[in-house]
Amino acid sequence: MTSTKLAPPNIRSTKFRQAMGPLRSAALVYVVVIIIVMILAPVIAPSDPLAQDIANKRLPVFTPGHLLGTDELGRDVLTRIMYGARIELFIALGATVFAAIAGTFMGIVGGFFGGIAETVTMRLIVDVILAFPPIILALLAVTIYGPGPITLIMVMGVLFAPTFARITYGQTLSVKREEYVEAARAFGAKTPVTLFKVILPNVSAPIIVQFSLTMAQAILLESGLSYLGLGVVPPEPSWGAMVAEGQRYITSDPMGLLVPSAALVLTILAFGLLGDGLRAYLDPKSRK
């Protein structure tokens, strides 16, 4: 009953390569590598991320046994970068999944039913959340409930859900009067079937794009909170906390600041470029 017809596999593959281009393809490869590092960090990391060796603190990069050197407590920087990726992606993915599920549900319900459902979902919930700066709400919630991965996932999930809600709401309004939706209802399809098996697949393209972009935003917000000491609780490795620690020794050991900063910037940039590439692939009108 859907209106979207899939192209043959070879055509889809060609369109995907054209949409991605070399820079976006490099971003895709980077994302795949960072996900592999996230999963295999306990296996491939050279040492324990919490193990201290004060006698070998602040070793320079390319030191034998410490490819990226050590920090002020003698902990291996490469190991902490790997475990930091594990924590960053876990929190960002959890928050994005939470936001996507909650926001998509509110958007599709508000757009399909209208009336009271629209008022409750899009006005009383979405607009109220959007009225406050995200960083202020995040700081308030973390201060009240305390830092930690679960708190960060819930807080960021709530903050990012309105974006998914607005996207889904607008898309639902544009397709709910289409013939295939009317046909599903005429054949007696129940409301949940109409919403999630007929409408949702046809509005999923911008949601997929937003998922990748929200991952980048969640990583940035989490690292900012960790930089302020309100994110991941030390001594667990977090890129934001590593940036804060390295900043104190920037004159004597600049690599302690540059290494986690580079990991953070590259990861955010990669997810942003990936989302841009998915937009170009799923929406040919946006392709440059």
Q: Burial of 103 by CB count in 10 Å (0-12 exposed, 13-18 middle, 19+ buried)?
A: buried
Each residue's pLDDT expressed in tens, for the chain with a length of 288 residues: 444 444 556 666 677 676 677 888 899 999 999 999 999 999 999 999 999 989 888 899 989 989 999 998 999 999 999 999 999 999 999 999 999 999 999 999 999 998 899 999 998 899 989 888 888 888 888 888 888 888 899 999 999 999 999 999 999 998 888 888 888 888 888 888 889 888 998 899 899 999 999 999 999 999 998 998 888 888 889 999 999 999 988 888 899 899 999 999 999 999 999 988 888 877 655 544
Q: Give the C-alpha separation, 173 to 98, whole Å.
A: 23
pTM of the model: 0.88
The pLDDT of residue 3? 46
Separation between Cα atoms, residue 201 and residue 79, nearest integer Å: 41
CA distance 199 to 262: 41
Question: What is the reported pLDDT for 284?
Answer: 53
Name the H helices within 131-203: 134-145, 149-175, 179-186, 191-193
Q: Are 23 and 198 in contact (CB under 8 A)?
A: no
- Structure letter (DSSP) for residue 76: B
For residue 195, with 0-12 CB atoms within 10 Å meaning exposed, 13-18 middle and 19 or more buried, which class applies? buried
Specify the 3-state DSSP secondary structure of 124. helix
**Residue 114 to residues 67, 162, 256, Cα–Cα distance (Å):** 58, 17, 53
User: How far apart are the C-alpha atoms of 157 and 100, rounded to whole Å?
Assistant: 8
**Structure token digits, residue 180:** 């295939």
- CA 172, distance to chain mean position in Å, is 23
Helices (H) and strands (E) in the chain, counts: 11, 0
Is residue 218 a contact partner of residue 91, using CB atoms and an 8 Å limit?
Answer: yes
Provide the pLDDT for residue 4: 46
What pLDDT is stored for residue 11 in this prediction? 63
Interatomic CA distance for residues 269 and 243, integer angstroms? 17
Domains and CATH numbers, the chain: 11-282 (1.10.3720.10)
Burial class of residue 86, CB neighbours in 10 A (0-12, 13-18, 19+): buried
